[in-house]
Amino acid sequence: MKSIDEITLNFGPDSLLLLDAILAIVMFSIALDLKPGDFRIFLRQPRPVLTGLVSQFLLLPALTFLLVLALQPRPSIALGLILVAACPGGNISNFITHRAGGNTALSVSLTAFATVGAIVLTPFNIALWGSLYEPTAEILRATYIDPVKVAITVGFMLILPLCLGMLLNHRRPDLARRIHNPMQWLSMAIFALFIIGALAANWAFFLGYAGAVAGLVILHNGLALLGGNLISRLAGLSEYDRRSITIETGIQNSGLGLVLIFAFFGGLGGMAVAAAFWGIWHAVSGILLASWMGRREARQ
């Protein structure tokens, strides 16, 4: 059996285009609940927003790097974990925060801020942390990621639908309210079906290699959730806000990660398996955590 660093998954240009479209629909559905005024939360309550952004774009990549140094997984798996950690919060974080009894308004605002920030911070974090670990630095040197192309990819998939959804909510709030919940459920269902289809097309690979990433992804996700909770405690935030930041840090946009992996790394096996397993596991861990948190009301 080939090393996981040597395989590439079955994922053609049509599949990549479909994934781009699904992520755009997901982002549009999230933006239907956003208004330009939501960005002003930073002026009213800068500490929770700053804490959430630091947790996502600084703490999580740093913890990921330490995890990679400590366990030294296969290079492609290590780079997959680094790439996922460099992505903004995932599309289901707002839904899970609501289920957990956390500050949903903060979660939605963090999604918006992180999505805008991802244009610069996602390629920056991939390049920075990937270059600090020699085995992943070799992959980056062999691949050459153009940060401008990454920024354009993130912009078209995340920023454009974000702006369109916010514009519809501003111009036609009645229509945005009517279609918001159906669009969110539809987008999550389509994304889940796509992941299932991708798994089916590459089932032999996943059977052979998922065991190599499962434990790492579960540990990585646990570190993300723990790190988000600890940093919000150190910032002196209320439990209500801590729940939001914990979930925002532990729910990553693995769909964007898959797009970047197939667009810039040719579907490199370890990276793709790690990101795909993240896409499944963070939903499971998030829902379980939300069920536990939601048993009692958070202090505000």
Average pLDDT over residues 127-143: 89
Please state the domain count of the chain. Answer: 1
What's the whole-model pTM score?
A: 0.83
21: pLDDT strictly greater than 90: no
In 3D space, the residue among 228, 256, 175 whose CA is nearest the CA of residue 56 turns out to be 228
The pLDDT assigned to 299 comes to 65
In 3D space, the residue among 159, 149, 128 whose CA is nearest the CA of residue 31 turns out to be 159
222: in domain: yes
Provide the residue range defining the domain that includes 222: 13-291
Q: What DSSP element (H or E) covers 48?
A: helix 46-54
The pLDDT assigned to 9 comes to 56
Better-scored residue on pLDDT, 50 or 281: 50
298: in domain: no
42 band by pLDDT with thresholds 50, 70 and 90: low
6: pLDDT strictly greater than 70: no
- What gap in Å lies between CA 131 and CA 124, rounded to an integer? 11
The pLDDT assigned to 246 comes to 95
7: in domain: no
Better-scored residue on pLDDT, 6 or 184: 184
Segment 182-223, tens digit of pLDDT: 887 787 777 777 777 766 666 666 666 667 788 899 999 999
Euclidean distance between the first and final Cα of the chain, in Å?
Answer: 54
DSSP 119-155: HHHHHHHHHHHHHTSHHHHHHHHHH---HHHHHHHHI
207: in domain: yes
CATH number of the domain to which 235 belongs: 1.20.1530.20
Segment 153-164, tens digit of pLDDT: 777 777 788 888
Segment 66-105, tens digit of pLDDT: 999 999 998 989 999 999 999 988 767 877 888 888 887 7
Tell me which amino acid residue 78 is.
Answer: A
102: in domain: yes
Please report which residue ranges of 202-268 form alpha helices under DSSP H.
203-234, 239-250, 254-264
The pLDDT assigned to 207 comes to 66
Segment 218-241, tens digit of pLDDT: 999 999 999 999 999 999 999 989
Segment 248-266, tens digit of pLDDT: 999 988 878 888 888 788 7
Residues 268/8, Cβ–Cβ less than 8 Å: yes
In the predicted model, what is the mean pLDDT of the chain?
82
Query: Tokens 């952004």 map to which residue?
Result: 53
